[in-house]
Chains A and B, each alone.
Chain A
Amino acid sequence: MSTERRRAAHLESGEIAAYLDRVLPRPDRSRIEAHLAQCEECRDELVAVARLLRARPRQPGWYLPVGVAAAAAAVALFIIWPRPPEQPGSPEYREPAVTTTVPPAILGPRGVVAAPLIFVWTTVPHADRYRLALFDDSGRVVWETQTSDTAAALPDSIRLLPGASYLWKVEAQTGWDRWVASDLVGFSFGPARP
């Protein structure tokens, strides 16, 4: 009997993946956590998949010595060979090279804030997706979302406790499975603005 058939009473592939990717709304996440707490087989699978993802091979990159040699060669060529005069009006076919990855910087909320809450951060060059996570002071995920924008509004369905402290961070996707994270920033939630 195949794994798929035997797993009829267990979590589906999409549910395991969605739980690990933290894209589930709270009721679905709770349902899956309730199942995981009781089901050893699904817990084993969850942990095994998380380990596989953590230890997965990265996309092949340049070895440092090769990179250094290439850079040295490029500098030598640049010094030895005179640059040809630029053609007026010649088109640019390439984007500027990405030399560093800058994490997103949190703009707000910070400190003591009031509703409505809008989370804002700086743009990361070449990032096409951002992942935001909001935690309460015990580390529990209160809300998660993904967006291509650099701002996200807290939905009405998420209610923050007045006076309670929260932490949030945002990650920017800068390449194939490559994310760069902001610092964790804290704020406490004050009374609603009139």
Chain B
Amino acid sequence: MAWKTFLETHSRLLLHTARTLGRDYDAAMDAYAYLLEQLRRDDFRRLQAYVADERTKFTTWLVVVARRLCLDHLRHRYGRSQDSGERSSAARAVRRQLVDLLAESLDPSGRTDPAAADNPEIQLRTRELSRTLAEVLGGLEPRDQLLLTLRFQDGLPAREIGQVMGFPTPFHVYRRLNTLLEELRAALGRRGVQGSEP
């Protein structure tokens, strides 16, 4: 009876999760069936684990668990190429690291010029800037490090960053980013990195 009520309430959410991850209708339905089987398994062990932290909304927690189960199933069935996380990692591999992206944002001089790649002076300055910037980034609060990573390394739009991190509006995200970039410029300037002051 409780299982029936659970399905009536949450089956749309579970189907939505399976459909989002499945490559086609059959794969999604397959994942959905696997998901239900796993949730029922061992006397609903997974569902009973929710009681551990009742402050969290059940639906949020359920989506995390359901997504993990679906990924397990799809990896097992179709191989690891189904993993959207790994696909995005592959795409991200062609991007540069956060430090390089920030370094360009803080000191764009010469970096857009193709000739700069062969200029030893600019290369030296770039290395110096990147090394110092990595040190400065390490001293930031975790929340600010995450904000910069989501924006510059993962390339998320401000609106989505705001939703994930709990900023009230995208405007607040931009404002915090601007403040952080100013702070980074100032910190680099204090450490004597040339060209880092606005």
B13 touches A57 (CB 8 A): yes
Which chain A residue shows the least CB distance to B85? A44
Known: A31-B142, A44-B84, A46-B164. 6 other contacts (CB 8 A): A3-B69, A13-B65, A36-B149, A135-B167, A135-B172, A140-B143
16 residue pairs bridging A and B, Cβ less than 8 Å apart: A14-B56, A17-B57, A18-B53, A30-B142, A36-B146, A44-B85, A51-B160, A53-B60, A56-B59, A59-B12, A135-B168, A138-B175, A139-B171, A140-B167, A177-B57, A184-B168
A48 touches B85 (CB 8 A): yes
Which chain B residue shows the least CB distance to A44? B85
**In the complex, A12 Cα to B68 Cα: how many Å?**
11
Which chain A residue shows the least CB distance to B53? A14
Least distance between A11 CB and chain B CB atoms (Å): 9
**In the complex, A46 Cα to B160 Cα: how many Å?**
11
**What 1/0 mask marks residues of chain A from 22 to 55 whose CB sits below 8 Å from any chain B CB?**
1100000111011011001101111111111111
B: residues with CB less than 8 A from A are 9, 12-13, 16-17, 20, 49-50, 52-53, 55-57, 59-61, 63-65, 67-69, 71-72, 75, 84-85, 88-89, 92, 141-143, 145-146, 149-150, 154, 156, 160, 163-164, 166-169, 171-173, 175-176, 179
B64 touches A30 (CB 8 A): no
A23 touches B56 (CB 8 A): yes
B59 touches A13 (CB 8 A): no
B55 touches A141 (CB 8 A): no
Which chain B residue shows the least CB distance to A24? B55
Least distance between B4 CB and chain A CB atoms (Å): 17
B168 touches A139 (CB 8 A): yes
Count A interface residues, CB 8 Å.
Answer: 51
Least distance between B183 CB and chain A CB atoms (Å): 11
B64 touches A33 (CB 8 A): no
Least distance between A166 CB and chain B CB atoms (Å): 12
CB < 8 Å: which of A2, A47, A169 contacts B168? A169
B163 touches A50 (CB 8 A): yes
Provide the residues of chain B in CB contact with A50, threshold 8 Å: 160, 163-164
CB < 8 Å: which of B9, B71, B150, B168 contacts A43? B150
A17 touches B85 (CB 8 A): no
B13 touches A146 (CB 8 A): no
